[in-house]
A and B are shown apart, each in its own frame.
Chain A
Amino acid sequence: MKSISFFVFFIIFFTLECTMEQGVLNLLPDKKDLSGWEESERRVLSTVQEMSDYMNGGAELYFAYNFSQLGLKKFINEDNLEIVIELYEMKDNECAYGVLSFDLSGKRIDIGTIGIYDLGLLRFWKGKYFCRILMWQGFGDNEETIFKIGKIIEKNIGHSEDEIPELVNLLPSGGLVENSIHYFFHNNPLNNFYYISNENIFNLGEDAKAVIANYEQKDSGKFYLMIIRYKDEIKGFEAYKKFLNFYFNQDISGQNKINDSRFIRKTKGEDFTGIDLRDNYLILVFEAKNKSVCINYLNETFNKIKKIIH
């Protein structure tokens, strides 16, 4: 009797697993939706190995944003043109936004919560999904098909209350370079936006999420601003001390608190770097041309943080 129960449980569990995996494919269009196009491939990828086989090291980008599974379909038409449809299911909405924010540049299009299209590639975020629809060749005559696919997927995903992560809204707006915002919580993405170290010196992770953006001002040139929100003040202070030690050779490891956490330094022959800590928020300015830029942007970010803390 025991073994029969186990068998039934196993069958139910296995069936549920398969259904959940195939579910992501159900959000993608079928042949009947796309006249003149034949489905040439369909599969679901979820393991590290499957993803690595599909895109080598590119897979880690998705794992850095809590990837669950990828629904993949390819369609071919009589001219041998191919459309590749990838629907990435992430852990939650902010993870899907994070993946999209790897590169927000491009023409905005009204598909998904944020949709971007250029030269045969449509990318959009909706709910916990990030979608890529790509035509390598012949996209000029097939853009309507690409958009149609996008709209079908958007509709199949259904209603979603999407909001840009709160951290992003803490970025000062003056001088913010359009579409330069990146949201992340892993060192690998950070290393693509602004390389500091291969070591995770900011202790980034699920409890330490971050945003970085480019700024440009007529008089002050280009610079970067990064905000990291830690689980609590203690974690924030640990990261603060670690950064000071790594970046500025300032060892304050023995201290449990600091009265004035603002630290602005002109690096030799280069630009200004500024860091400050407020509650559980760490704020950094990199490559500022003058000290006042650091001061102004640290202050402005603090004021924004103050509003949500108090």
Chain B
Amino acid sequence: MKINKTSVTRRDFLKGTALAGVGLTFGLNKVWSVVSLQGEGGERSKVVIGKSEKIMDEENRVNQKVMDTLLDEVIKKYTQKKDVNSAWREFFSSKDVVGIKVCDQMTRTHNELVISIVKNLKSIGIPDDKIIIFERGRGGFGEKGIFNRRESFGYSSNSISKVITENATALINVPGTKAHWLSGIGVCLKNWCGAVTRINVRDIDVAFVIHKNSCEDMGLLSFSPDIKNKLRLNIVDALRPLAHGGPQVDPRYLWQNKEIIVSTDQVAIDAVCLQKIQEKRREIKGGDWTLYPPPLHIAAAQNKYKLGIADLKRIDIERVIV
């Protein structure tokens, strides 16, 4: 067979399939990054990363006191408030009913982080019965709900948890951090999968078609007004992320990262976590270890659903060390 001289690179080929359409690029160093289709100007986002070496011991037990301090410092840094209560009041009032969407599956949200969040909400006057910690159609109230989430709330006719549609006036998104075999990574945007029903990975007879093209349309869930209009804050548990093969956990790919990450922009956090996971993969293999499949949903959340900023050039990352 004669070789046609027209040359196409694999990178071109990847772009040609779906990546360019959502603004995801595959760099020369074989890492994914998001670009803004409208250029680099415009809005910016802020993300605060809090880290403490003392937050976790060798057996992966979390120190509650350190967690409390770390969350206080991160929230203060994010809001630029000197007082913790004032910082939390930037997002919530005592009249709010706050739904805390945790992750109960596989890379679970650490209870210690939820305890800290509940303490802070209570300290600004939100009582236990106005704080709902939930996953899917089940949840629990206040401090007890951190450990016992057996109350059934069910789902609304639009297949979204009634905690969101009927109970909560405000939402906090508190996911874990992981590489994901269907979507590249699963952090903030993917956490809402656990707040809806009638979805399946084959997108057959579903309420939300989100799994095709490496879960490119994951942002569809957050785009729903029920979630979009109530989501006030994202607090990501990046204490011990998973760098490969998620959601099922292989402990070899977990690492003690000892961070929590806060932003009102869940897309920005996902972009930061993408970078973090890719860096860790390179470290584990001592070189290239490309993250597959490409995390199209982060770029699409920015460029298609306009949910936030995923282009790292437009994200201001601030750090707190405790």
Could you tell me if A195 and B247 are in contact, using CB atoms closer than 8 angstroms? no
Q: How far is the CA of A49 from the CA of B59 in the complex (A)?
A: 34
Whether a CB of chain A sits under 8 angstroms from the CB of B130 is: no
List, in ascending order, chain B residues with CB within 8 A of A217's CB.
none
List, in ascending order, chain A residues with CB within 8 A of B263's CB.
none
Q: How far is the CA of A146 from the CA of B288 in the complex (A)?
A: 33
Q: How far is the CA of A51 from the CA of B200 in the complex (A)?
A: 10
Q: Interface on chain A toward B: helix, strand, loop, or mixed SS?
A: mixed
Given A57-B183, A263-B3, decide whether A192 and B13 contact each other with a Cβ distance below 8 A. Answer: no
- Distance between A85 CB and nearest chain B CB, rounded to angstroms: 14
Could you tell me if A53 and B136 are in contact, using CB atoms closer than 8 angstroms? yes
What total of chain B residues lie within 8 Å of the partner, measured CB to CB?
50
Could you tell me if A265 and B7 are in contact, using CB atoms closer than 8 angstroms? yes
Given A57-B183, A191-B292, A268-B8, decide whether A134 and B1 contact each other with a Cβ distance below 8 A. Answer: no
List, in ascending order, chain A residues with CB within 8 A of B215's CB.
57
Could you tell me if A192 and B213 are in contact, using CB atoms closer than 8 angstroms? no
Contact of B202 among A48, A56, A262 (CB under 8 A): A48
List, in ascending order, chain B residues with CB within 8 A of A194's CB.
292
What total of chain A residues lie within 8 Å of the partner, measured CB to CB?
57
Within A218-271, the residues touching B (CB, 8 Å) are 222, 246-250, 258-270
Given A191-B293, A195-B14, A268-B12, decide whether A120 and B251 contact each other with a Cβ distance below 8 A. Answer: yes
Q: Mark A282-307, 1 if CB is under 8 A from B, else 0.
A: 00001100000000000000000000
Contact of B293 among A56, A195, A265 (CB under 8 A): A195
- Distance between A142 CB and nearest chain B CB, rounded to angstroms: 13
Could you tell me if A103 and B106 are in contact, using CB atoms closer than 8 angstroms? no
Q: How far is the CA of A63 from the CA of B244 in the complex (A)?
A: 19
Q: How far is the CA of A194 from the CA of B60 in the complex (A)?
A: 33
Q: Chain B interface (Cβ within 8 Å of chain A)?
A: 1, 3-4, 6-14, 17-18, 59-61, 105-106, 136, 180-183, 186, 193-194, 199-202, 211-215, 244-252, 288, 290, 292-294
Write 6 A-B pairs (CB below 8 A) sorted by A numbering. A56-B186, A57-B182, A60-B202, A247-B13, A261-B1, A268-B8
Shortest beta-carbon contacts, A-B, top 7: A60-B201, A119-B251, A268-B7, A58-B247, A191-B293, A57-B182, A195-B292
Q: Chain A interface (Cβ within 8 Å of chain B)?
A: 48-49, 52-61, 63, 102-103, 106, 118-121, 132, 134, 136-138, 188, 191-199, 222, 246-250, 258-270, 273, 286-287
